[in-house]
């Protein structure tokens, strides 16, 4: 079956967007049922489209979409395209080294490679329902592995290959993975990350892993544990390229993906087969207005939700050509992105505001020497984009001729929720703009009342389920209830604040909980504090985010020591400890040694005040007279770094 590119559910005008939005809110069940029935291959139709209760009581909280339906997502991403698109490129692989020849992997080749990878997994003990950890570089084999897990009904848990051994170990143990896929090393610019060495260190504290399959990517010298470790290339060569797809229930787990929590432990968000497939396809086609023959490039890593939804599952389910990039935007120079756009004649380009801000500071000749005329749509993801970056992106990359979709969504939502639709609805600098049809956002005040006026500012919530929403936190449904459904009855609380203008456009104002978004990555402050507090000279710490010109936000740590010490050595050791334990992306940019932290009379650290101080906003600290130690506020201000 060939996907219908000209679907009635893909808006092609503002009027059609408004009509679809009206349909989706007046009769959401019919809206999603009609789209799912028309656009996908099902082995069995659903018995019940949607069953839900949004409650703060974990025993009473649950969401089920397409209940009773049978499918395999890989048949919708690969098999159904083979008759008409077998020789079309599915994945373009651009390696870290620009001298390495790019790969153009057709849908027929993708099918064979995914099937061989699936059989390789089965030969090494994998079966339906197993959790499999993927700690790999951004090579085609990572995409094959993701799809191969889905092919056999195993649950993939991709861990970003920049995380530390401790972070990897925590995630493997939490989901009880019995198989780990990794590589000898991974290229990142002019460096090689020792992935197998990190994996070996992580697995020293994991008793659940039975097999490790190792891809030879960098020809690094590594240790192989007899009986546990096998080489990817050898196992792959032995495998058949025929592997029937496991028939899954729509509500079976597809993957677990960890995101930072406001408490120390990362949250394993669970996404399921049917609803996730439907929504990422729908959102990909609507947001980017993908057309037959387009070359689409999302610069994210598959280790994040953006890579899951908009490198692998969304584009491939739409029969698109998706580009995978192994490298970084700064290697071999800061013109690499634009070189790749020119080389592959990229039409749709989707990246993070952090990358845009960084690239905007570079020599403009690195941009102007490349032909970017193939571009027709630009996008941003991970955090709100500031006006200066938006204007640079619009002028120098889009040549004022490309719509910019500023997409708001989360690991928990599975897919894009609020954005303009490229060339269809208006894009407004610094605004995510309008919800997709099928998404019903609202703003809540601090008292728990919905803000019903056209304009307003408050906590951003979603008041009706959507197909790709996470179903639970793996192994901790009560935490899922507490985190997302306890703040506002019957609504999903995003953790973000937002403003709404008179025309209904939303502007995301940032997190209102203890999460900091750094370079588009959600980092839990509690998790970083826990590691800092492990240092033998640290009495206590408080971690907050503060505005950063390039990263959007960065990490500021206020640290109180036990007794006296040479602070320079301690701050260096803290950075090294956080980088080694959690990964370099979590390392504090600023560390301020304090003699005390502002606290309430019950002993709670007032991070709200510390956020203001870190940002240099000393005029809006609020009433500090009720603090246990108001005198320390002035001291902290004076010591600001």
pLDDT per residue as tens digits for the range 307-357? 999 999 999 999 999 999 999 999 999 999 999 999 999 999 999 988 898
**What confidence category does residue 284 fall into, taking pLDDT thresholds of 50, 70 and 90?**
very high
Q: Which DSSP state fits 433?
A: B
Decide: 41 and 80 in contact? Cβ < 8 Å.
Answer: yes
Question: pLDDT of 619-639, one tens digit each?
Answer: 888 767 666 788 899 999 999
pLDDT at 189: 92
Q: What share of the chain is helix, strand, coil (3-state, %, to 5)?
A: 35, 25, 45
Predicted pLDDT at 565: 59
Give the 3-state secondary structure of residue 125.
coil
* pLDDT bucket at 297, cuts 50 / 70 / 90: very high
Using the predicted structure, report yes or no on whether residue 51 has a pLDDT greater than 90: yes
What number of CA atoms fall less than 13 Å from residue 68's CA on the CB side?
7
CA atoms within 13 A on the CB side of 37: 10
Give the closest residue to 413 by CA, choosing from 430, 435, 391.
435
CA–CA distance, 622 with 30 (Å, rounded to integer): 49
Beta bridge partners of 132: 156, 179
Mean pLDDT of 399-427: 97
Length of the chain: 641
User: In sequence order, which residues have a C-beta less than 8 Å from that of residue 365 and are 6 or more positions away?
Assistant: none
Give dist(CA 187, CA 4) in Å, integer: 38
Give the lowest-confidence range in 63-72, 363-372, 602-611. 602-611
**pLDDT at residue 3 above 50?**
no
Spatial distance between the Cα atoms of 482 and 306, rounded to a whole number of angstroms? 25
Quickly state the pLDDT bin for 170 (edges 50, 70, 90).
Answer: very high
**Mean pLDDT, rounded, of the chain:** 93
Q: What does DSSP assign to residue 637? A: H
State the average pLDDT over residues 437-452.
94
State phi, psi for 509 to the nearest 5 degrees.
-100, -5
Mean pLDDT of 113-119: 98
Give the tens place of pLDDT for each residue, 225-246.
999 999 999 999 999 999 999 9
Q: What is the mean pLDDT of residues 576-587?
A: 88
More confident residue, 222 or 586: 222
Element (H, E) at 507: strand 506-511
Q: Which residue has the higher pLDDT, 530 or 429?
A: 429
Helix (H, G, I), strand (E, B) or coil at 576: helix
DSSP summary character for residue 20: H
Contact present, 96 and 187 (Cβ < 8 Å): yes
pLDDT of 6: 56
Locus of tokens 């370099």 = 584
pLDDT of residue 2: 36
Its sign, for the CA torsion 575, 578, 583, 589, is negative
Is the pLDDT confidence value at 564 over 70?
A: no
pLDDT for 625 equals: 65
Q: Which long-range contacts (CB under 8 A, 24 or more apart) does 190-193 make?
A: 190/331, 190/332, 192/218, 192/220, 193/137, 193/161, 193/162
Under 8 Å between Cβ of 298 and 158: no
Residue 357 class from Cβ within 10 Å (0-12 exposed, 13-18 middle, 19+ buried)? Answer: buried
Residue 511 is predicted with a pLDDT of: 75
Task: Encode burial over 537-569: b for 16+ CB neighbours within 10 A, e otherwise.
Answer: bbebbbbbbbebebbbbbbbbbbbbeeeeeeee
The yes-or-no verdict on residue 99 having pLDDT over 90 is yes
Q: Give the predicted TM-score (pTM) of the model.
A: 0.86
Distance of CA 244 to the CA centre of its chain: 30
The reported pLDDT for the residue numbered 5 is 47
Q: Quick one: average pLDDT of 5-32?
A: 93
pLDDT for 602 equals 55
Read off the pLDDT of each residue in 176-185 and give the average, rounded to a whole number: 98
Q: Would you say 404 and 398 are in contact if contact means Cβ atoms under 8 Å apart?
A: yes
pLDDT value at residue 384: 83
Measured CA to CA, the distance from residue 292 to residue 85 in angstroms comes to 11
The CA radius of gyration of the chain, in Å to the nearest whole number, is 24
CA dihedral (164, 165, 166, 169) in degrees, to 10, reads: 130
Q: Could you give the domains of the chain?
A: 14-75+277-476+492-511 (3.40.50.12780), 527-638 (3.30.300.30)
The whole-angstrom separation of Cα 641 and Cα 60 is 48
The H or E element containing residue 117 is helix 107-123
Looking at 555-606, list the stretches that DSSP marks H as alpha helix, in order from N- to C-terminal side. Answer: 567-581
Cα separation, 603 vs 609, in Å, equals: 14
**How far is the first Cα of the chain from the last one, in angstroms, to the nearest whole number?**
61
């Amino acid at each position: 079956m060939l996907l219908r590119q000209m679907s009635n559910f893909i808006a092609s005008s503002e009027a059609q967007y408004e009509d679809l939005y009206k349909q989706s809110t007046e009769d959401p069940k019919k809206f999603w049922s009609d789209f799912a029935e028309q656009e996908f291959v099902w082995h069995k139709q659903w018995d019940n489209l949607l069953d839900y209760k949004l409650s703060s009581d974990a025993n009473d909280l649950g969401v089920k979409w397409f209940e009773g339906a049978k499918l395999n997502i890989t048949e919708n991403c690969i098999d159904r395209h083979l008759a008409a698109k077998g020789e079309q490129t599915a994945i373009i692989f651009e390696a870290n080294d620009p001298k390495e020849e790019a790969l153009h992997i057709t849908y027929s080749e993708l099918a064979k490679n995914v099937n061989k990878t699936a059989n390789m997994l089965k030969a090494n003990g994998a079966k339906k329902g197993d959790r499999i950890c993927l700690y790999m570089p951004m090579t085609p084999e990572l995409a094959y592995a993701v799809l191969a897990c889905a092919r056999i009904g195993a649950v993939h848990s991709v861990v970003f290959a920049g995380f530390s051994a401790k972070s990897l170990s925590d995630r493997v143990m939490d989901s009880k993975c019995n198989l780990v896929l990794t590589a000898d090393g991974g290229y990142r610019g002019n460096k090689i990350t020792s992935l197998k060495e990190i994996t070996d260190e992580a697995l020293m504290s994991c008793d659940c892993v039975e097999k490790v399959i190792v891809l030879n990517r960098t020809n690094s010298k590594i240790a192989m544990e007899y009986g546990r470790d096998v080489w990817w290339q050898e196992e792959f060569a032995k495998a058949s390229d025929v592997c029937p797809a496991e028939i899954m229930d729509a509500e079976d787990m597809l993957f677990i993906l960890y995101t930072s929590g406001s408490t120390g432990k990362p949250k394993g968000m669970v996404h399921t087969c049917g609803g996730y497939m439907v929504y990422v396809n729908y959102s990909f086609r609507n947001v980017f207005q993908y057309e037959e023959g387009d070359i689409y490039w999302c610069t994210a890593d598959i280790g994040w939700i953006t890579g899951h939804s908009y490198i692998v599952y969304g584009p491939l389910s739409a029969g698109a050509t998706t580009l995978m990039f192994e490298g970084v935007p700064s290697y071999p120079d800061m013109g690499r992105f634009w070189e790749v756009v020119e080389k592959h004649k990229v039409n749709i380009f989707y990246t993070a505001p952090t990358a845009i801000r960084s690239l905007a500071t570079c020599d403009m000749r690195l941009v102007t020497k490349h032909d970017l005329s193939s571009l027709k749509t630009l996008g941003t993801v991970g955090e709100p984009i500031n006006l200066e970056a938006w204007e640079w992106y619009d002028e120098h990359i889009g040549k004022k001729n490309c719509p910019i979709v500023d997409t708001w969504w989360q690991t928990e939502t599975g897919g894009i929720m609020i954005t303009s639709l490229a060339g269809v609805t208006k894009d407004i600098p610094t605004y995510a703009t309008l919800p997709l049809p099928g998404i019903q956002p609202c703003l809540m005040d601090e008292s728990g009342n919905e803000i019903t006026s056209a304009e307003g500012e408050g906590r951003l919530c979603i008041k009706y389920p959507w197909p790709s929403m996470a179903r639970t936190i793996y192994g901790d449904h009560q935490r899922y209830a507490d985190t997302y459904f306890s703040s506002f009855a019957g609504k999903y609380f995003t953790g973000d604040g937002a403003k709404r203008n008179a025309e209904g456009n939303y502007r995301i104002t940032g997190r209102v909980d203890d999460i900091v978004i750094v370079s588009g990555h959600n980092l839990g402050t509690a998790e970083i504090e826990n590691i800092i507090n492990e240092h033998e000279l640290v009495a206590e710490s408080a971690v907050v985010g503060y505005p950063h010109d390039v990263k959007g936000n960065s990490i500021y740590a206020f640290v109180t020591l036990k007794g006296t010490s040479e602070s320079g050595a301690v701050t260096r050791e803290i950075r090294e400890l956080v980088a080694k334990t959690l990964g370099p992306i979590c390392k504090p940019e600023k560390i301020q040694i304090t003699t005390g932290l502002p606290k309430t009379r019950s002993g709670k650290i007032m991070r709200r005040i510390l956020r203001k101080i870190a940002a240099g906003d000393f005029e809006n600290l609020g009433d500090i007279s009720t603090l246990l130690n108001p005198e320390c506020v002035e001291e902290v201000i004076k010591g600001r770094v």
